[in-house]
Amino acid sequence: MRGFKTLIRAGNDSFSRRNRSFETPHAVTTIAATASSHYAHSQAVPAFSASALTHGFQLAFYTLSGLALAGAAIATAFVESKPKAAPKATPVEAEVALEEAA
């Protein structure tokens, strides 16, 4: 665990990394709470009932899974399957460089 903390602190942009680590749990709980609340109001059940909570977390899971798949598809579209070939360098005449130095 110490190595992971060192990696997090080592970067120049440690503040934004620290903030990004809190985004995912907040997204999950926000989506789940909103979906649970809407389900509870529409079904006339308490918001903390098992069916409302199950619906909320299930919707959050599907939503974030869809976002992850969309991110994977976008990343796949931009990854090159073969690296571009580097242009071949032409050799420089060694004798010319030696004559000029002498």
Q: Would you say residue 67 lies in a domain?
A: yes
Q: Would you say residue 86 lies in a domain?
A: no
Tokens of 92: 């420089």
| pLDDT score at 69 | 96
Taking only the tens of pLDDT, the chain with its 102 residues reads 444 444 445 444 444 555 555 566 777 888 888 999 999 999 999 988 999 999 999 999 999 999 999 999 999 998 877 777 777 877 766 565 556 655
Contact 59, 22 (CB under 8 A): no
Q: Would you say residue 95 lies in a domain?
A: no
50-61: buried (b, 16+ CB within 10 Å) or exposed (e) per residue? eebbebbbebbe
- Number of domains observed in the structure of the chain: 1
| pLDDT score at 24 | 64
| pLDDT score at 14 | 47
Q: What angle do CA 42, 48, 54 make, to 5 degrees?
A: 75
Q: Would you say residue 102 lies in a domain?
A: no
Domain that holds residue 54: 2-80
Q: Would you say residue 63 lies in a domain?
A: yes
CA-to-CA dists, residue 16 to 9, 21, 23, 71, 78, angstroms: 11, 9, 11, 20, 24
Q: Would you say residue 10 lies in a domain?
A: yes
Residue whose token pair is 């242009």: 87
Tokens of 96: 């010319």
Q: Would you say residue 88 lies in a domain?
A: no
Q: Would you say residue 91 lies in a domain?
A: no
